[in-house]
Amino acid sequence: MPSKDIILPATQRAIIATDAEGTLKISNDVPVVTLESDAVIVETAALALNPVDTKMLQGFLGPGCILGFDFAGVIVAVGSAVPESRGLAIGDRVFGSANGSDRRRPLAGAFAQYTTCSASMIIKMHPDMTFTRAAALGTALTSTGMALFRSLCIPGTLDKPILKSTWLLVYGGATSTGTMMIQLARRCGFKPITTCSPANFNLVKSYGAEEAFDYHSSTCAEDIRKYTGNTLAYAADCVTVPSSTKACIAAIGRAGGRYVALDPYEEDLMTRKVVRPDWILATAVAGRGSSWPAPYGREPDMECRVWAEEYLASVERLIGSGADQIRSHPLEEREGGLEGIMSGIEEIRRKQVRGFKLVYPVEW
């Protein structure tokens, strides 16, 4: 049960779906999520938008389902089974990626006054971090972790980098996941290289990219192969369109390697048997599986959950050692709360958001 010190209201404001088509509205009388024994409830202080918030609507949501993933806020309730060793208490400032857009758990989304997250998968903020900055990190961290460690199976960890550095391609380095992937690959001892437009070369290099290549160039993949001495073995595709898939597969060296996409890729583009392809569903990190339409449906995977808990614990240790140990993507802080988020969703749909991430402080 929630702490006796904080009595949660029965209802709250939230952005919800009104039908299975993904029509959205702001409602003032959405039930507050029930506290699960292994979870915490957080009163949100900042919320961030991701492209996934516009993709997973029709066919993914049900009536009354709360939208949203990225949040930061203050713990207001701690489940009875959360171990004391986790060190979580009411009043702690935390951030994470909610299990949003899930018809089986419709009240677990982030775009509400109160959201919930497993205690083992929430991250405590450094005292010097702002809520808006923290809110931008959750989904980028889980997506990057899944891609690097679960799919590409790179050697090295955030705690123990590899000793002999090697190349890793991040296609789409100027995206929010791209800048995160560059940082974490560098921390694991890799030499990240990336693609983006020339206008963003300085940006991606400021996050740790060894070199940047113009994705518009007809010789992009050839240039990468030459730069890496035809030895590239890891490619992460943060864009996942046919042209990016083709470039990644072509850039991987003669001996082959692994390719991971952040969305389903076209199978007929897998033209090299020495390349092992995969794609990730970042929401699978919680181990609950999903009932989403194919190919996004997933069976429960507790092995993934155990991995995620260990990975996020290493992230928390890193952030605890300094507020600037992990940088967020460039942010554009907007006013307007939930109403502002509704406008931001339309901007993303119209492809008007490029080079920055929309973040919204919220007051209740």
Question: 233-281 pLDDT, tens per residue?
Answer: 999 999 999 999 999 999 999 999 999 999 999 999 999 999 999 999 9
* Position 58 confidence tier, pLDDT thresholds 50, 70, 90: confident
Whether 120 shows a pLDDT value over 70: the answer reads yes
What pLDDT, in 10s, does the model give residues 126-168? 999 999 999 999 999 999 999 999 999 999 999 999 999 999 9
What was the pLDDT predicted at 283? 85
**357-361 vs 39-48, strand pairing mode:** antiparallel
114, HSE (Cβ side, Cα atoms, 13 Å): 24
Count the Cβ atoms, other than its own, within 10 Å of residue 243. Answer: 13
Q: What is the mean pLDDT of residues 117-125?
A: 95
Whether 1 shows a pLDDT value over 50: the answer reads no
Please provide residue 142's backbone torsions phi and psi, each rounded to the nearest 5 degrees.
-70, -40
Kindly state the DSSP code that residue 335 receives in the 8-state scheme.
-
Whether 4 shows a pLDDT value over 60: the answer reads no
Residue type at position 44: T
Q: Two tokens at 73? A: 């806020």
Q: What is the mean pLDDT of residues 114-122?
A: 95
* Position 20 confidence tier, pLDDT thresholds 50, 70, 90: confident
Any idea which residue has 């049960």 for tokens? 1
What was the pLDDT predicted at 21? 86
By three-state DSSP, how is residue 53 classified? helix
More confident residue, 15 or 21: 15
What is the residue-wise DSSP string for 259-280? Answer: EEESS---GGG---TTEEEEE-
Measured CA to CA in angstroms, residue 170 lies from 3, 65, 133, 273 at distances of: 44, 34, 23, 21
What was the pLDDT predicted at 3? 44
Question: Cα–Cα distance between 77 and 99 in angstroms, integer?
Answer: 17
What was the pLDDT predicted at 5? 62
What pLDDT, in 10s, does the model give residues 69-94? 999 999 999 999 999 999 999 999 99
Residue type at position 188: C
Question: Cα–Cα distance between 97 and 110 in angstroms, integer?
Answer: 8
Q: Two tokens at 339? A: 């109403």
Domains of the chain as residue ranges with CATH: 11-137+316-361 (3.90.180.10), 141-280 (3.40.50.720)
More confident residue, 87 or 284: 87
What was the pLDDT predicted at 298? 87
What was the pLDDT predicted at 236? 99
Q: Two tokens at 206? A: 């400021």
For the ranges 95-104, 253-262, 267-276, 329-338, which has the lowest average pLDDT? Answer: 95-104
Which residue, 94, 54, 62, 78, is CA-closest to 1? 78
